[in-house]
Amino acid sequence: VRDFYAETQLNVMVLLDATDTMSYGRAGETKLDYATRSIASLVAYLSKRGDFLGITVFSGTGPATVIPLARGSAQTSLIMRLLGNITPGASTENALADGVKRALALGKIKGGALIFVITDLDSKSDLTSLKQLLAMHHQVIVMSPFTPLFESHDLKGMDRMIYSIKTAHMYKERQVMLREAAALGIPVLDVGPDDLFSKLITKVEQLRKVGGS
């Protein structure tokens, strides 16, 4: 038995947190580094499928930068250039809220879209700013780089066990936030260095199979 799925054109907007909490760590191995590389891979993948893609980068320093939804080689080059020149900014309580506002105003998001929000959720207020997107019938998925997953990435054996014990309280606090997100109807997926890109692709193809955006 073979299952056939019609090709569905997607509208995908990525909101990327480029504040300083995302850029903490060793150069080339920060949460922001992994996020930008994963988005670059996502751009290449979606461009081959003929999907529309846009990006909004918010850093807490000045207005968020928005590249509205479009497709084609020119759009791919534009997004890649932006990803290669991101400068982290200071964390502010309203950074994500500004990103959402700017994406809706300038992103040319028509009808329902798949909106990936890549942020470490440093502030609980971040969650409530996403409710507007849900009210507009967009598919919102938070891909959240979780600090312990990145810091423990290269640890092995006893070092990894000791680190897990020391950071147990962070996992408990994280579970509280995930329950709050679920209550708001916002799916949050914790991601680490090994699965950020794969989870992005999985969600894209799940939406494609059910009819797209």
Give the pLDDT confidence of 54-101 residue by residue, as tens digits: 999 998 888 999 999 999 999 999 999 999 999 898 878 888 999 999
How far apart CA 72 and CA 57 sit, in angstroms, is: 20
**CB-based contact 20:31 (threshold 8 Å):** no
Residue 5, pLDDT score: 44
Task: Give the helix ranges, DSSP H, for the chain.
Answer: 31-49, 73-83, 95-106, 125-128, 131-135, 147-151, 157-166, 168-184, 196-209
- Average pLDDT over the chain, rounded to whole? 88
Determine how many CB atoms are found less than 10 A away from the CB of residue 191: 25
Percent of the chain with pLDDT over 90: 51
pLDDT above 70 for 125: no
The SS3 call for residue 33 is: helix
Across the range 102-107, mean pLDDT stands at: 95
pLDDT at 127: 79
Q: Is residue 13 within 8 Å of 51, Cβ to Cβ? A: no
